[in-house]
Amino acid sequence: MAEPLISFAPRHIERAVGGTTVLELRGEIDILTAPPLGARLDDLTAVVLPDLVVDLRAVSFIDCAGLGVLCRARNRVMDRHGRLRLVTDSNQFLRILRGAGLDGVFDMYDHLPQALAAVPGGVLTATAR
């Protein structure tokens, strides 16, 4: 008997705001959900000059697989001279970044409008509270 297929894709909403793609993630980003998320981020960062905002405010958990997906997306964006901004208001996420040695690596914002209005090169870096 065949087992039912279970989709581990993270829930997300994707939309364009001007020339920026906003990807709002929900739920957990872990070893099961990271591969399909990574595939989607690969698609979004395959263009020249990608402009991407990843909204993590509704993410309840992220592990090292999730951090790896975000790092890969950042590297792909940098290679293509684009922009990637993360939006989070989670002190826990900021502590995880600091613990992994990734604080200061991402352009971080507390609110989506801040990230969308950010001028290239004028980065506001969030700090853990």
37 inside domain: yes
5 inside domain: no
1 inside domain: no
**The domain containing residue 44 runs over which residues?**
11-117
Count of domains forming the chain: 1
Between CA 93 and CA 57, with CA 127 as vertex, the angle to 5 degrees is 40
Q: Quote the pTM value.
A: 0.85
Share of the chain above pLDDT 90, in %: 80
Residue 121 has what pLDDT?
54
93 inside domain: yes
101 inside domain: yes
**Residue 74 to residue 105: CA distance in whole angstroms:** 9
4 inside domain: no
> pLDDT tens-digit profile of 36-69?
999 999 999 999 999 999 999 999 999 999 999 9
